[in-house]
Amino acid sequence: DSGVTQTPKHLITATGQRVTLRCSPRSGDLSVYWYQQSLDQGLQFLIHYYNGEERAKGNILERFSAQQFPDLHSELNLSSLELGDSALYFCASSVEDSGYEQYFGPGTRLTVT
Amino acid sequence: GQQVMQIPQYQHVQEGEDFTTYCNSSTTLSNIQWYKQRPGGHPVFLIQLVKSGEVKKQKRLTFQFGEAKKNSSLHITATQTTDVGTYFCAGIDYGGSQGNLIFGKGTKLSVKP
C-alpha cells in the first residue's frame, strides 16, 4: 500500500459525459501528478501540482482539467468523453517538487462506451 | 520533444535465466528512475540514479546509468517468478520536461517456471 488513495476504482460512462477522478496523496506529500496509461501508450504524464499550484502540463487534452485543493487532495476532470479516453488513470505523489520518487495510487479504470 | 525509448518491449525467460532491459533518451538526463508494475497493479518505485556512470545494486537487480547520462539499464540475475511484471524507466530532464518524469513504454517480463 503506497498511501495514495484514488476513487473510484472503476468508472463506466458514455461518450459525451463528464467524470471526476479523485486522489489523496500520501500524508505530508506536497506534489500530485496525474498519468494516463493506455494499452499501447505506456504512462503518459498529464499534469503536476505542487502545494496547490500547477507546475507543469504534459500531454493533457483541453477537455481535461485538474486542480489541487488546500488539503492537498486533487481532482482530475474529464469532459466530453470519447471512446479513446478509456484508460487507467493513475495519481502519484511525492514529498516535494519534481525530481523525487513518486508513489502511485491504485488507479481508476475508466471505460467509455 | 524529449523521448525515452525502452527495449525490448517484451522478454520471455526461463526461471533462472538473466534479464536486461535498456533505456535510451534523446537528451541528456538529470537523473533516471526505475519502476516496476506487477500485472493488475500500479507502478512501484525501485531506484533513482543521478551520477554519470553510477551503478547500484538491489539484491539480484543491478542498475546502471551511462557515462553520458543518456542511457540506463536494469539487469536481473537468475530471474524468479516474482520478477514478473513491466519495468519502466523514467527520465528527468529539468530543461526539457520541466523536471517531470518521461516514462519509457516499459519492458514486460514473463518468467516460465
Task: Count H helices and E strands in chain A, helices first.
Answer: 0, 11
Residue A40: its pLDDT value, please? Answer: 66
- Say whether residue B5 is in contact with chain A using an 8 A CB cutoff: no
Chain A hits for B101, Cβ within 8 Å? 33, 45, 98, 102
Write the pLDDT tens digit of every residue in A80-109. 999 999 999 999 999 987 778 999 999 999
A45 contacts A59 by C-beta, under 8 angstroms: yes
Residue A39: its pLDDT value, please? Answer: 79
The answer to whether the CB atoms of A58 and B44 lie below 8 A apart is no
B5 contacts B62 by C-beta, under 8 angstroms: no
